[in-house]
Structure 1
Amino acid sequence: MSIAANPIRNPESGSARVMTKRAWWLVLLNVVLPGSAQVLAGSRRLGRFGLRCTFTLIGLVVIVGLVYLFRPEVVLTAFTNSIGLWVAAAVLVFYGIVWVVLTLDTLRLVRLVKAGPGARPLIAGFATVLMVVLAGTAGYGAYVAATASDFLSSVFVAGPTVPPVDGRYNIMLLGGDAGADRAGLRPDSITVASIDATTGQVTMIGLPRNLAYVPFVADSPLAAVYPNGYGAHDTCRVDACMLNSIYTEVELKSPEMYPKAIDAGSEPGIEGMRDAAEGITGLTIQYYGLIDMQGFSELIDALGGVDINVTERVPVHTDDTFTTVLFWFEPGMQHMDGYHALWYARSRHGTSDYSRMERQHQLQEAILAQASPANVLAKFESVASAGSQVVKTDIPQSMLGYFVTLAAKSKTHPINTVELTPANNVDPEDPDYDVIRSLIDTALTPATATPTP
């Protein structure tokens, strides 16, 4: 067939049936291999540009896929880094624009007026819907990437990676309980998450907020002030000499003890709590995470609520008296919004601190289990907005890819727990810290089989 008679290059030469078939072919080629429609039927220069863009994108996807297959932490590090996310956003915007240009040019090339009357709206509608869906997806992806970059920059600090200590990463998690009726923030929930750096196995060590005579690591400035433990001989500078008061005392009374805390992405009170957690557990605490418990409810709402299996009746009291019951959480599966989840974790009326610790850990595990990537992406804007107000940490962005990989491994193991409570022979008001460290060492040391004689 001569070029003059070829309906692909010469749309004046075909019948309505041929032109309809030609239109469908061009639209499908634009979908399967963007740029090919222009090479065959339009501006070859534009078509070659489109094909180069298409093959470059395919090459990038293949390379990223192969790297993820063998070194997933490399890809995750790139996409949990502000620069990497902005690059991804720019690439998505660029390809979205290229796709729109090529699709509009394809619609021009198909010559709808020469196609069959019944096929014209179908061809135009099909091409337009695909353009909107694919370009819209690219645009939303760019928006998510840009929002994620802003979120990561507001929460995580810039800093180098650090190696595990004795094969573990230990992260102190504080649930901050601020309020108008108290001076400063007071950690209401204190947990050390110890993570095996190879397997991802997580052990959650719950530290009662009322632990007394807390020891500090030897190089801590607090060890010089309280050589016999915090509050020994009833000496401290706040109204209650127990673990969760250390934050308040350091933050309000002696922040000069930790002059480098702010520059390191921390706070003096947090560093005092870190020294205490290391003294209690005997572990090196590489990082911390502080969660504002009031703002925590906004994060749960952003995720669409959380499902909790309530095992016993739990009362909710008023803010003022802590005695009058407003309502009860009844046993059974309960879907809770942020307000109710927060009260479930904090309720004191008729319950002990140890019961609260169990409920707080139950809530933490439920959120981790239900915050799936699909759920987070679907509500990303509200999740990111709430998260940036809720979380403070000194985990550097450079470690995020590694920790995401480690988190995936963690999901293959059950979470171990060590509760320093009377049920485990720990009296928080008169604790034996040798017993506490022995409990923790036992939990963190993998059981070995006894050799057969």
Structure 2
Amino acid sequence: MATGRYRTGFGLMTVYLVLVGLIVTMATAFRGALLSLAVQPSWLEALTVSIATVALIWSIVILWSFWLVRPSGAGHNLNLAVAGALCVLVIAPSAYAARVAYLSHDVVTSVFSATSTTPVIAQDPWKGASRVNILLAGADAAPNRVGVRTDSVTVASIDTATGATTLFGLPRNLQRIMLPEGPARDRFPYGFTGEPPATPGLLNEIYQYAEDYPEMVPGVKAGERGATLLKQTISDILGIRVSYYAMVDMAGFAEIIDAMGGVRITIKEPITYGRYGEGLLPAGTRKLSGEDALWFGRSRTNSDDYVRMSRQKCLLNAVAQQADPVTLLNSFENLATATKRAISTDIPADLLPALVDLGQKVKGTHIKSLQFVPPLINTAYPDWHLIKRKVSEALEAKPAVTRRTASRPLTTPSPSPSDNAISLDEVC
């Protein structure tokens, strides 16, 4: 403008204002759509290239403008420094944004499978299903024992229209489990018994057993056999089709929470942990580190598996509610690294946009929980018909979908189980 190039100046100004307006509009009015685009590899690639291109062009405009004005004398060096600083101010945040886009692309392509077995239709990604059921498993591997044990088994049943969610928790010590029809049932016609006397034949052994014995799940490759058999088994137990699974390594879960900056929990009663009870989580509301949060969910000292299951549900609930985009963006690189290392899943990448949209609905509901633990269920001799009936009753209930009160504290639940699905707000 100062050199008389009004057409070029107005053109650049118009482009700048359009870009600013577009960014503000997308970040406010179309935030949900923006989150959906953020998990699509093709859009992430395009975003990375676009950010780099805009930063390059913008820097060229700054340097070109400086060259056109070409101040001389004492002001030359100062103006040159200003032009350089402006270029840095443009390039630095653009480089960071491009790296976030690149890391997002890397996480999506590394953790999630490329495509669904059947095409995902944008207008109806759930193919008319009223609910989607996802198995959430916590894998506890340790140097002093062989294989992986799924010590935490939860199925999240989500209403695809409203986001209303019920968590069904199965104890790790569930016994005499009937495996799906086929080779697995043929091997254990009267219920899963593991390899006695080395193993007692519990629910948490099924994943590793399938990995160790390929004939249990013929035609499925290593690394997927355990999850496949576990999904089929849980589907039969609950009487609902489990479509997908997500398994997190427990140590990796601690890394994810640390990457979030911790998770805020209210501990109602002091929790001791460690082989000899040497650790202590005192009562009160505080932000727990990843290690402390892991002990909050794992400790059985002075309690039992069932109290631990309740705490795990509360911990999952707290993480889901506190993992807002701003918090995650602040430590995105650490979170991306922890996620790739800790999580395995069969959720296809092309379903992620729909899952993100559904996740936004879930955050606005009261999550309910139903745990199949004593006295409701005898883990040694489970009443399979009762489990299916309770699941059916819980899913047939039509609770009102209301907003969660953000300030409501999270506390350790009562160890007494309920026969009916209860809101986690009532126990956490």
Q: TM-score, normalised by structure 1?
A: 0.78
Count of aligned pairs between the two proteins: 393
More helix by share: 1
Q: Quick one: which of 44, 53, 61 aligns to 1:94?
A: 53
Q: Quick one: which of 441, 445, 450 aligns to 2:392?
A: 441
Separation (CA, whole Å) in 2 of partners of 1:143 and 1:235: 49
Q: Quick one: which of 138, 141, 149 aligns to 1:186?
A: 149
Counterparts of 1:276-287 in structure 2 under 5 Å? 276-287=233-244
Q: Quick one: which of 310, 313, 320 aligns to 2:270?
A: 313
Query: Contact 1:173 / 1:193 at 8 angstroms: preserved in 2?
Result: yes
Q: Which residue of 2 aligns with 1:133?
A: 89
Q: Which residue of 2 aligns with 1:149?
A: 105
Q: After TM superposition, give the deviation of residue 130 of structure 1 in Å.
A: 4.7
Q: Are residue 426 (structure 1) and residue 364 (structure 2) matched?
A: no
Query: Contact 1:37 / 1:106 at 8 angstroms: preserved in 2?
Result: no
Q: Are residue 389 (structure 1) and residue 341 (structure 2) matched?
A: yes
Q: After TM superposition, give the deviation of residue 68 of structure 1 in Å.
A: 4.1
Q: Are residue 227 (structure 1) and residue 199 (structure 2) matched?
A: no
Deviation string, structure 1 residues 331-363 (Cα, Å, up to 9, x no partner): 111322112211221112221100110111121
Q: After TM superposition, give the deviation of residue 38 of structure 1 in Å.
A: 7.6
Q: After TM superposition, give the deviation of residue 226 of structure 1 in Å.
A: 2.6
Rate the CA distance shift 1:168–1:96 in 2: closer, same or farther, 3 A.
Answer: same
Q: Which piece of structure 1 moves more, 399-408 or 434-443? A: 434-443
Q: Which residue of 1 aligns with 2:41?
A: 82
Rate the CA distance shift 1:66–1:235 in 2: closer, same or farther, 3 A.
Answer: closer
Deviation string, structure 1 residues 401-448 (Cα, Å, up to 9, x no partner): 10111111111111010111125x212122111111111111111339
The residue type equivalent to 2:191 in the other structure is G
Q: What SS is found at the alignment partner of 1:198?
A: coil
Separation (CA, whole Å) in 1 of partners of 2:28 and 2:283: 48
User: What are the ranges of 5 or more consecutive residues in structure 2 without an aligned counterpart?
Assistant: 401-428
Counterparts of 1:260-279 in structure 2 under 5 Å? 260-262=219-221, 267-279=224-236
Q: After TM superposition, give the deviation of residue 184 of structure 1 in Å.
A: 0.5
Rate the CA distance shift 1:370–1:258 in 2: closer, same or farther, 3 A.
Answer: same
Q: Are residue 199 (structure 1) and residue 150 (structure 2) matched?
A: no
Query: Contact 1:76 / 1:400 at 8 angstroms: preserved in 2?
Result: no
Counterparts of 1:393-408 in structure 2 under 5 Å? 393-408=345-360
Q: What SS is found at the alignment partner of 2:265?
A: strand
Rate the CA distance shift 1:63–1:224 in 2: closer, same or farther, 3 A.
Answer: farther
Rate the CA distance shift 1:285–1:237 in 2: closer, same or farther, 3 A.
Answer: farther
- Larger-Rg structure: 1
The residue type equivalent to 1:338 in the other structure is G
The residue type equivalent to 1:199 in the other structure is T
Rate the CA distance shift 1:361–1:66 in 2: closer, same or farther, 3 A.
Answer: closer
The residue type equivalent to 1:141 in the other structure is A
Separation (CA, whole Å) in 2 of partners of 1:235 and 1:61: 59
Counterparts of 1:161-172 in structure 2 under 5 Å? 161=120, 163=126, 166-172=129-135
Q: Are residue 354 (structure 1) and residue 303 (structure 2) matched?
A: no
The residue type equivalent to 2:111 in the other structure is V
Separation (CA, whole Å) in 2 of partners of 1:65 and 1:348: 44
Give the CA RMSD over aligned residues. Answer: 3.2
Q: Which residue of 1 aligns with 2:325?
A: 373
Q: Are residue 411 (structure 1) and residue 363 (structure 2) matched?
A: yes
Q: What SS is found at the alignment partner of 1:184?
A: strand
Q: After TM superposition, give the deviation of residue 102 of structure 1 in Å.
A: 0.5
Rate the CA distance shift 1:176–1:68 in 2: closer, same or farther, 3 A.
Answer: same
Rate the CA distance shift 1:198–1:130 in 2: closer, same or farther, 3 A.
Answer: farther
Query: Contact 1:86 / 1:145 at 8 angstroms: preserved in 2?
Result: yes
Separation (CA, whole Å) in 1 of partners of 2:334 and 2:278: 29
Rate the CA distance shift 1:336–1:9 in 2: closer, same or farther, 3 A.
Answer: closer
Query: Contact 1:315 / 1:347 at 8 angstroms: preserved in 2?
Result: yes
Q: What SS is found at the alignment partner of 2:278?
A: strand
Q: After TM superposition, give the deviation of residue 66 of structure 1 in Å.
A: 11
Q: After TM superposition, give the deviation of residue 390 of structure 1 in Å.
A: 0.3
Query: Contact 2:38 / 2:104 at 8 angstroms: preserved in 1?
Result: no
